[in-house]
Structure 1
Amino acid sequence: MSAAAYHPHDHQGCINTALQQAATLCAEQGVRLTPIRKRVLELVWQNHKPMGAYDLLPALAADGFNSAPPTVYRALDFLLDLGLVHRLASLNAFIGCSHPGHEHESCFLICKHCGKAHEMNVEPWFTALTDAAKAQGFQVEHQLTEVVGICPLCSAEPDRESRDES
């Protein structure tokens, strides 16, 4: 994976693409992208760091939305069901899906220093894992792998090693 996936950039392009994809999927499925669902999706895409439901509450309250946890979880469940976001179990957090609306297995590289996560395609690995599971009589329904480490930008910081040793 390249360091480009972790470089800072204007997230507005990511947000605009996610909102456009959400509107298209909602229209195709005959469901509504309500204002709170839309705002939750925007907040999840505001950076490439997974966001917990409780992380979203202050921004929703500031925007005048009902910021009760059940409201946020309903919006996140809706976005999950449409494949617009992924839930990262190890972090109990959510991150935008880079190719929503397509049933797919996901692998996330999660930087333990900056907190950013990058979704990558590792289809051959998932195929091998599914085949191995089938050989054991296990039927795989869904795979989401989380790999924790240090991204290229954080590992390239000149003083990273001295801070990690302390």
Structure 2
Amino acid sequence: MSAPDAETLGFTRHDHAHCVAEALAAAEARCTETGLRFTAVRRRALEILLEEHKAMGAYEVLERLQQEGLGAQPPAAYRALDFLVANGFAHRIERLNAFIACAHPGADHVPAFLICRNCNRVAESLSLPNAVVLEATSGTSGFAIERILVEAVGLCAACQQKADT
């Protein structure tokens, strides 16, 4: 990935075409090696999520699929999104009740999301020291963590600049 900061993606300039191609290739490779079916609807749903680093609701994805003649009913979009999340190709952003493509497909990671409260752009970060600490302390307490969700809300640099002018 040719981003200035490979740790956080979404608010930084990068080669977006390469970013999209890399994520699709990773998804295809993983599906091939694990025997998962990467159907046309699943692939297109991932492409739609990859087009912007902005979280999208299921109905936004459904609308795009319908415009292209793929998946006319809501279950088609939800099934595709569920598949993408279950297999690490996308994440669900709880705060926005929306989905975003994984910026680090294939990486074993606990993502942290930086969400702009103004434009709803989302950056996924691999820098997650608090989750590592939480995971380590859970082992000593006997608590088995099943899922960690970190969503930080604030203003991206572009929205901060707009607010200053």
**Structures share a fold, TM > 0.5?**
yes
Residue 99 in 1 paired to residue 104 in 2? Answer: yes
Check whether the contact 1:82–1:100 (CA below 8 A) recurs between aligned residues.
no
What is the number of residues matched between the two proteins? 160
Tell me the residue number matched to 1:114. 119
Counterparts in 2 of 1:63 and 1:110: CA distance versus 1, 3 Å: same
Residue 87 in 1 paired to residue 100 in 2? Answer: no
Task: Give the counterpart letter for 1:108 in structure 2.
Answer: F
- Residue ranges of structure 2 left out of the alignment (5+ in a row): none
Q: Secondary structure at the match of 1:115?
A: coil
Residue 146 in 1 paired to residue 151 in 2? Answer: yes
- 1:5-51: per-residue Cα shift (whole Å, max 9, x none)? 42566643322221111111111111221111110000011100001
Give the distance between the partners of 1:88 and 1:129, measured in 2 at CA: 20
Give the distance between the partners of 2:96 and 2:28, measured in 1 at CA: 28
Percent of paired sites with the same residue: 40
Q: Secondary structure at the match of 1:147?
A: strand
* Paired residues for 1:1-166 under 5 Å: 5-7=10-12, 11-134=16-139, 136-157=141-162, 160-161=163-164
- 1:136-155: per-residue Cα shift (whole Å, max 9, x none)? 54221221201110011211
How big is the alpha-carbon RMSD for the aligned residues of Structure 1 and Structure 2?
A: 2.3
Instruction: Name the TM-score, length of structure 2 as normaliser.
Output: 0.85
Task: Give the counterpart letter for 1:81 in structure 2.
Answer: A
Give the distance between the partners of 1:86 and 1:30, measured in 2 at CA: 21
Instruction: Name the TM-score, length of structure 1 as normaliser.
Output: 0.85
Cα deviation, residue 101, structure 1 = 2.5
Task: Give the counterpart letter for 2:78 in structure 1.
Answer: Y
Q: Does 64-73 or 98-107 show the bigger shift? A: 98-107
Check whether the contact 1:111–1:151 (CA below 8 A) recurs between aligned residues.
yes
